[in-house]
Structure 1
């Protein structure tokens, strides 16, 4: 006789939903064992006093999103100890036939989108422009032209030959567009292609009017495939066509087309725990874990790969997103909006995001307050590392803290982005803090009206944009920025203190303070305090500041390794870095900078490695099962 476990339910790829779900594995005579589906475990927890489900290793292909609500308060979906359960929102495609030239095709009932993987590696949708692997940000794009009636959000003109005459709109064909400022991209189905007038129209309006010099690429047609690792849809016979890098094994490795946008979606669920799971194969236009409302949820130790946005918090409060690994994302890492307040996002590794949609952030919030963003490692993002936006539409950001994060190689495909941004259109004091972060290589890319690429264009290290006020920026290290390491664009009462900046180009000042003329006289910054900052350069710099109608400010006690001083107590001398030639910008014990009132940064506290768990912010989970 088998004794069942009344303290938890189990789910296994070897299970059956007709069983009790109380056993971690099938019993010897095959009459009882774990459940087969998360839906069955959810329903079982709702109808019992059991609040925990352990999920065994293996891949669970979801045909529909797992939905949770207030009936699931306090429940947990946890990985079985030592095992890796994978939730996949993708369709496994088989039955490929060779077409020669390295191409293989298989029939699909519904057109694929832009999210296709082989062997767990995201593939590239074939496109009109040829991609150069050595210049992925600028290659593969065509320059567009405004129509005869001027810039439009719904159409643009293209040059003869850029779009093949044989290319016709179909269910899978999309176009991705950027205006010249490259602030945000849009992806729309192609409505019409007029080869006579060289005009393309979009099904959905772009965010910005498309001016001459903007960029576009038409994607996802099989006739556009050039290189291994690309795919496209062929509407004439309803087939997915791929050109795999490893033809002999690609079908066995697994060809997966993402179908679901969200794998788990909550509505008003509180005190929910989701730990140790892998979320995979979800569309770029969805959030793998989508939470709406509720509070006190825990999302920890999960792996998000080949999904769109990893986690979205829509009005979800007081929750923890910690210790997760998010990689190869079509869009964003963690997104917060609609007064998602009091959340803690810490000790996550977020890398290679925005592989399809370019305008987002590794961690972003709109109208989110009391947020802690701490000790995250962020690398390879096309626009922002961390961004908090307030558009003066009632969604305000207050009292957010961004500290001890390590943010590298961001802002590489867009302009006016970079490491950490706060945007405060209301001009009201935010009371937020940016401290102890390391920001290196913050990019900046745009185009001009003549179709030229503008590199190192508005790639800020830290940006207090459009009237952002009342923010403390202290003890940060910024290097490899474009236009400025720390940017104050309007706004009042901001404090910049004891930050270290290393400029790679003589024309890029460490600190830039600027008026926002389009917002009127009130947008002239006031009461900016810039004290005890340390500026250096890979080359001698002309000045470590740029002041453009800066309004009232206090700027004093700063140190420049070379260049010129500004305030009466500013100085110019060697600060005493430990070994700047090898990238060590810590201060020696007897560094002259220390006698100037500057203190060293807390280097060992930065990033995931700098995180030290405590009782109030647990990070590692020890599953009992």
Structure 2
């Protein structure tokens, strides 16, 4: 096996065959990832690559302004991959940003005039142009600041929570009686907004119409006399509504708390109130969009690194086969930790993922028309504190395509969903999820919806607990939205989850052998396609059905109930099976009147003590004498749920 070495003390003109510089410094490790990659290319061209290769990267901080790029020619082989590995026992940080130095007190009288009097002595400034940072982007998707492994706050008001829209100027939108405006002009009640009149580039971040959709928008003007804010176009896609919430940000005048910052993008001057005096490390400003880009490359492993601080995504994997990211720390991003776009057999395992601006890992792959699986997997990862910048539509895991597996992950503390799945034949199992969906409502911990053809998905042996939504206004555990069909929900445990399983008018779903404790309700079924959502049947639903070859042999064999759906009351919630579930201290069923002719729950254990081993300590394993076994309930392998220790 070929062994090469990279070190912060290395030189690219050396051989790369030594782990450390030799005594006379005539040879030693390489200095860069690129030099090691190019050496492997040379060895492969010379036919010397037979038994695989390991590139050991020695301890240190590797600062990058552009991604490390691997392409087809850098591939390993199925039986002998190329492994990039942090040297055993050493900490290797790969950073896509610049440490900000050269801090000094604010002296510009115009800036001091804008800052609060109590703030002035605490705020420091640094010139980013001196550090070579000149591309700042905008306050929506531009630079971000991290300090001591935490995302700092772009100066905002209020510092926590939100203000409310007191009214809109024009009422021209009505969604099932919910009235609002398509025009981005609305009234506010907090006089503090008048402080923003002279701001160079004020923005606002809000849940403008629905509780489940946020957006950042530029403020066009403020009229303090009428307490009126006008937003820049394009306006929010759903409009604006009285009572919805927002806050202002990118406001120098609101830099009034430790950890807040503001960037004058015209002058390149960064203002920052450090939460503590600088000692061991300076703040880092994001520069690189990505850290690793893998384009049509296969059989590559990254193992044991810390990858952090990018404007967009740490890893971007396009095509290829059998690439693996293992035992890494992935943190401090503007967007995603990992994006996998196509290819097959890619795996992320054993990683700790946190402080993520958007979602955690995005998986795309497989061929829906042939039902060919992608085989991507996410296993044994600890994912938390994601969705820090994009609060909605930013799950820990997004599955899109065919045949992906997510298992034994621990997901918690986030504003929105844990898992969104789209497509077919995904397996979601043995995950523990709690305290998500904290900033929005009408969302699900595990979510999918609005497609008859997204079938064959299995959600089993997951433990979902302590999920109630924003201001305890209800979120769902497993949310099968808008007529989603053919999903199996088996052997899961739901504890203190509002609307634990939600079937929104779909059909052919199976809810079996689950445990519901303190859920209200445990299982919801409605018939929305027979009522308010009927317009979707002949539009979105039918269009998506006809876009798939659902009458072809592969589809007929896999999903026989889909074949004649258009001739079998397609709007009706037929074929749902609810049986052998345990409902304890819960309102078990919420079945709407239009759905009742089609939904008849089977035998379930309702309001009978199931005899858990220790529910106070969240051990919901059943005692041998549990009455649940008399209805055919099968034991749930509760001790196997969550992370697996090595």
TM-score by length of 1: 0.84
Taking the TM superposition and a 5 Å limit, the aligned residue runs for 1:22-421 are 22-49=17-44, 51-74=53-76, 75-99=82-106, 100-109=120-129, 110=134, 111=136, 113=142, 115-131=144-160, 139-143=161-165, 145-148=167-170, 150=172, 155-159=184-188, 161-168=191-198, 170=200, 173-193=202-222, 198-202=228-232, 205-234=235-264, 238-247=268-277, 250=278, 252-283=280-311, 286-307=312-333, 308-337=335-364, 339=366, 341-365=374-398, 367-389=400-422, 397-421=423-447
Q: Residue in 2 aligned with 1:549?
A: 594
Aligned-residue offset at 1:241? 1.4
Superposed CA deviations along residues 143-168 of structure 1, whole A, max 9, x for unmatched, are 36434364566733242635234445
Cα root mean square deviation, aligned: 2.5
SS in 2 for 1:45: helix
Q: Which 10-residue stretch deviates more, 115-124 or 370-379?
A: 115-124
Aligned-residue offset at 1:291? 0.9
- Preserved CA contact (<8 Å) 2:523 2:588: no
SS in 2 for 1:47: helix
User: Following the alignment from structure 1 to structure 2, what is the Cα–Cα distance between the partners of residues 321 and 305?
Assistant: 14
Taking the TM superposition and a 5 Å limit, the aligned residue runs for 1:443-482 are 443-445=468-470, 455-482=471-498
Aligned-residue offset at 1:338? 5.9
- Preserved CA contact (<8 Å) 1:418 1:444: no
SS in 1 for 2:413: strand
Aligned-residue offset at 1:204? 5.3
User: Following the alignment from structure 2 to structure 1, what is the Cα–Cα distance between the partners of residues 510 and 588?
Assistant: 20
Q: Which 10-residue stretch deviates more, 193-202 or 31-40?
A: 193-202
User: Following the alignment from structure 1 to structure 2, what is the Cα–Cα distance between the partners of residues 25 and 204?
Assistant: 56
User: Following the alignment from structure 1 to structure 2, what is the Cα–Cα distance between the partners of residues 336 and 534?
Assistant: 33
Aligned-residue offset at 1:416? 2.2
Aligned-residue offset at 1:429? 5.5
- Preserved CA contact (<8 Å) 2:485 2:509: yes
SS in 1 for 2:204: strand
* Closer/same/farther in 2, CA of residues 442 and 36 from structure 1, 3 Å limit: same
SS in 2 for 1:210: coil
User: Following the alignment from structure 1 to structure 2, what is the Cα–Cα distance between the partners of residues 313 and 476?
Assistant: 28
Aligned-residue offset at 1:211? 2.5
Superposed CA deviations along residues 267-288 of structure 1, whole A, max 9, x for unmatched, are 21222211111111112xx211
- Preserved CA contact (<8 Å) 1:362 1:378: no
User: Following the alignment from structure 1 to structure 2, what is the Cα–Cα distance between the partners of residues 102 and 593?
Assistant: 62
Q: Which 10-residue stretch deviates more, 546-555 or 272-281?
A: 546-555
* Closer/same/farther in 2, CA of residues 543 and 34 from structure 1, 3 Å limit: closer
Paired residues, what number?
Answer: 559
* Closer/same/farther in 2, CA of residues 260 and 205 from structure 1, 3 Å limit: farther
Aligned-residue offset at 1:409? 0.6
Match of 1:534 among 560, 567, 582: 582
User: Following the alignment from structure 2 to structure 1, what is the Cα–Cα distance between the partners of residues 198 and 318?
Assistant: 39
- Preserved CA contact (<8 Å) 1:350 1:362: no
SS in 1 for 2:73: helix
SS in 2 for 1:553: coil
Aligned-residue offset at 1:189? 4.4
User: Following the alignment from structure 1 to structure 2, what is the Cα–Cα distance between the partners of residues 52 and 152?
Assistant: 59
User: Following the alignment from structure 1 to structure 2, what is the Cα–Cα distance between the partners of residues 48 and 328?
Assistant: 39
Aligned-residue offset at 1:388? 0.7
Structure 2: 5+ residue stretches without partners: 77-81, 107-119, 173-179, 368-373, 538-568
User: Following the alignment from structure 1 to structure 2, what is the Cα–Cα distance between the partners of residues 145 and 39?
Assistant: 56
SS in 1 for 2:210: coil
User: Following the alignment from structure 1 to structure 2, what is the Cα–Cα distance between the partners of residues 152 and 442?
Assistant: 31
Match of 2:526 among 498, 509, 514: 514
SS in 2 for 1:306: strand
- Preserved CA contact (<8 Å) 2:208 2:236: no
- Preserved CA contact (<8 Å) 1:223 1:232: no
Which structure's residues are more often helix, by fraction?
2
- Preserved CA contact (<8 Å) 1:120 1:254: no
Aligned-residue offset at 1:553? 2.7
- Preserved CA contact (<8 Å) 1:359 1:414: yes
* Closer/same/farther in 2, CA of residues 327 and 582 from structure 1, 3 Å limit: same
Aligned-residue offset at 1:169? 5.8
Aligned-residue offset at 1:436? 0.3
Q: Residue in 1 aligned with 2:466?
A: 441
- Preserved CA contact (<8 Å) 2:199 2:251: no
- Preserved CA contact (<8 Å) 2:196 2:251: no
- Preserved CA contact (<8 Å) 1:117 1:256: yes
User: Following the alignment from structure 1 to structure 2, what is the Cα–Cα distance between the partners of residues 77 and 188?
Assistant: 41
SS in 2 for 1:40: helix
User: Following the alignment from structure 1 to structure 2, what is the Cα–Cα distance between the partners of residues 69 and 384?
Assistant: 33
Aligned-residue offset at 1:486? 0.6
Superposed CA deviations along residues 558-585 of structure 1, whole A, max 9, x for unmatched, are 0112xxxxxxxxxxx2221223234332
| 1:503 pairs with 2:498 | no
Superposed CA deviations along residues 171-190 of structure 1, whole A, max 9, x for unmatched, are 6x543222342222223444
Aligned-residue offset at 1:55? 1.2
Superposed CA deviations along residues 461-490 of structure 1, whole A, max 9, x for unmatched, are 1111222111111110011222x1111112
TM-score by length of 2: 0.81
- Preserved CA contact (<8 Å) 2:169 2:187: no
Q: Residue in 2 aligned with 1:490?
A: 505
* Closer/same/farther in 2, CA of residues 542 and 272 from structure 1, 3 Å limit: closer
Structure 1: 5+ residue stretches without partners: 1-5, 132-138, 390-396, 446-454, 562-572, 612-619, 621-625
Q: Residue in 2 aligned with 1:569?
A: none
User: Following the alignment from structure 2 to structure 1, what is the Cα–Cα distance between the partners of residues 336 and 294?
Assistant: 15
* Closer/same/farther in 2, CA of residues 509 and 257 from structure 1, 3 Å limit: same
